[in-house]
Structure 1
């Protein structure tokens, strides 16, 4: 043994703040009325931004794009 012991409970990369943060990653608004994770990114969204994202998904489907293929893509897609 090398005498070095790893802390297996230590956070790796960015610490998850989804349940502890107080403001929306998109608009900076409060999360007092609720929170949800973005369909496209790892952003924590307020209800207003979640509604806008649902509208975007509906527009993508109406334009013939498969929004399911964009889940977790890491960006907000443009609707053509």
Structure 2
């Protein structure tokens, strides 16, 4: 099975080329450039998204879809 994370060439949020540097969103399964990730970390409920992700990992769910993206 192929992993979309490694196949995406452009940021799901802004469309800029990823050029090998990428990270997953904490809110959903978007693949982000580092600029969009920096913006995401400034969102008021980012810590809620991180905690939800960590809780799912503790429960053994390594494919958590996130808490959902609200307008950033």
Q: Deviations over 1:2-30 (max 9, x none)?
A: xxxxxxxxx5xxx6321121100111111
Using the alignment, how far apart are the partners of 1:74 and 1:16 within structure 2?
A: 20
Query: Cα gap change, 1:49/1:76 in structure 2, threshold over 3 Å: closer, same or farther?
Result: same
Which structure has more relative contact order (CA 8 Å, sep 6+)? It is 2
How many equivalent residue pairs?
58
Higher helix share: 2
- Please state whether the residue corresponding to 1:18 is helix, strand or coil: helix
Q: Considering only aligned residues, what root-mean-square deviation do their CA atoms show, in Å?
A: 2.4
Q: Does 1:74 align with 2:59?
A: no
Alignment gaps of 5+ in structure 1: 1-10
Residue 33 of structure 1: how far off its partner (Å): 5.5
TM-score scaled by structure 2? 0.64
The structure with the largest alpha-carbon Rg is: 1
